[in-house]
Amino acid sequence: MFFKEQINPKNLRITLETLINIRWIAIIGQFSTVSFVYYVLKFKFLYFETLILISFSVLVNIYLEINKRRFVTINNFYATISIFYDLIQLIILLFITGGLSNPFSILIIVPTTIAVTYLSRGSSQFIIICSIIFSTVIAFYHMPLPSPKGIELNLPKFYELGMWLSLTIGIIFLGNYAYQLGRDNRVRVGAYNKLEQELNNERVVNSVGGMAAAAVHELATPLATISLVGKELQKQLANNKSTKDDINLLINQVSRCSSILKDIAERKQQDQFISNVSPKELINEIIFSLENKSNKEIIVSNLSLNQRLKMTKKTEISYALRNFIENAIKFSKTKINIEINQKMNSTTITIEDDGKGFDEKIISNLGQPYINSENIKKNEQGMGLGIFIAKNLLERCFSNVTFDNSKNAGAIIKIEWSNSQLANL
């Protein structure tokens, strides 16, 4: 399955504009804070040195703003350098303004959180380690905390130790928490993009088939004309030995081309016939293709009143139904019931198993990625992403997907289309 694939950190791409906007927010916050403390509170510290430091970030951001059209996205390496620069700039600013005694030292957590959200595991660990090392350094070595009238404030050592400890715990805890969220999101997006690529490949193949059919139609007349002219030449030059063999070869090759184009046209017509199937035929085809049925009984019931309605065998629908049926086989005890009901205005496919059913705590959130439940055994990637992708694919095809539990505790998945939408897929 596509959603089981992991994302290669080397291929991660981060939008440059995101990093630029985050840095602008930091610049505005830093400038506003130091200016307020210096001019309004009248605290004495190296104000102009801090402005130089902040101005350097402004220049960096202006340069990136000018060139962001050339680099819409940047890879993991350059994003790591950018975030590492922000960390260094913040550490130097805190060094000038009191180290960890500065209430704004809590902002050391920010570069770490950004790193673990956007970067690979190795880069995130690098930023986390650097954050802890740098915060340790400025805990012992820093300039005096800004104070009114130049009065030097010496806070107790145990207070600074407490600040260092809280920062370290915060960096590790929030970093791990944000990394888990970022990783799940990257896997989900990567799996979804992978599936999109596969579906696009299917569409390309279908479009090539359509182009081939169009080519057959367009080439039929010119080939018939060439064949007719060749036969006329064959009659007129029957006694000309120098051209007789060439004309015969021409006629044979034209006949061969016509035969090839005829085969393509017949194959295209056959593909169109096969691609329009009834819901029951599609379900039976999916069940037949499953590799692991675990010796479980699969019952397909057709309660349709309108059995003439055909549906296009779209890749999205086939993939989603296969996913739901595989889940039903996996979580059922012995039996899976698949019910097809085509009424005058709607078509419904219901998949029901005799397993434990969906956890009542999560049933309202099914279709969202990475749902956790102690009552449902999951594979290594969980059950949430597969259902999320399948549900979204079916909703793209104008269906309504609902999840429920039967009275016997089994899981029920109901997929419903209006017949007008199903016929026009």
Q: Are residues 59 and 124 in the same domain?
A: yes
Res 394: pLDDT: 87
Average pLDDT score over the chain: 80
Q: Do residues 335 and 222 share a domain?
A: no
Domain boundary among 146, 180, 199: 199
Q: Quick one: 36 and 116 in the same domain?
A: yes
Q: Which residues pair with 411 in a beta bridge?
A: 405
**3-class secondary structure, 336:** strand
Same domain, yes or no: 313 and 253: no
CA distance 82 to 71: 14
Contacts of 424 (CB under 8 A, 6+ apart): none
User: Could you give the CA distance from residue 353 to residue 5 in angstroms, rounded to a whole number?
Assistant: 27
Q: Which of 231, 252, 275 is the last residue of a domain?
A: 275
Which is it for the CA torsion 389, 390, 391, 397, positive or negative?
Answer: positive
Residues 170, 286, single domain; the answer is: no
Last residue of a domain, one of 164, 199, 234: 199
Residues 259 and 298 placed together within one structural domain of the fold: no
Please report, to the nearest 10 degrees, the dihedral formed by the alpha carbons of residues 181, 182, 186, 187 taken in order.
-40
Identify the DSSP state of 366: B
What are the residues whose beta carbons fall under 8 Å from the beta carbon of 298, sequence distance 6 or more? Answer: 287, 325, 329, 335, 336, 338
Distance CA 329, CA 231 (A): 64
pLDDT digits (tens, 9 = 90+) for 325-372: 988 988 888 889 999 988 888 899 999 999 888 888 777 777 665 544
Query: Could you tell me if 56 and 147 lie in one domain?
Result: yes
**Residues contacting 358, CB < 8 A, separation 6+:** 366, 376, 403, 404, 405, 411
Taking alpha carbons only, the member of 412, 415, 188 closest to residue 316 is 415
> Which pLDDT does position 308 carry in this prediction?
65
The whole domain housing 16 covers: 2-199
Torsion angle defined by CA atoms of residues 21, 23, 24 and 28, in that order, rounded to the nearest 10 degrees: 140
Q: Which two tokens stand for residue 274?
A: 């096969």
Please tell me the distance from the alpha carbon of residue 283 to that of residue 311, in angstroms, as a whole number.
12
DSSP tag of 402: E
Whether residues 194 and 172 share a domain: the answer is yes
Residues 321 and 380 reside in one and the same domain: yes
pLDDT in tens, 186-237: 666 666 676 677 666 666 655 655 566 666 666 777 777 887 887 877 777 7
Per-residue pLDDT of 172-185, as tens digits, reads 988 888 877 777 67
Q: Which residue has the higher pLDDT, 207 or 146?
A: 146
Give the distance from CA 378 to its chain's centroid. 21
Q: Rounded to whole angstroms, how far apart are CA atoms 97 and 113?
A: 23
For 386-398, what is the mean pLDDT? 82
Contact indicator for 291, 299 with CB cutoff of 8 Å: no
Q: How many domains does the chain have?
A: 3
Q: Are residues 194 and 249 in the same domain?
A: no
Question: Do 164 and 27 fall within a single domain?
Answer: yes
Indicate whether 2 pLDDT > 90. no
For residue 407, the domain's CATH number is 3.30.565.10
Tell me: do 224 and 336 sit in the same domain: no
Q: So what's the pLDDT on residue 324? A: 92
Is 236 exposed, middle or buried (CB count within 10 Å of its CB: 0-12, 13-18, 19+)? exposed
Q: Which residue has the tokens 């350098």?
A: 81
**Tell me: the pLDDT tens digits for 290-329?**
866 667 889 898 887 666 677 777 778 888 898 899 889 8
Q: What pLDDT score does 381 carry?
A: 41
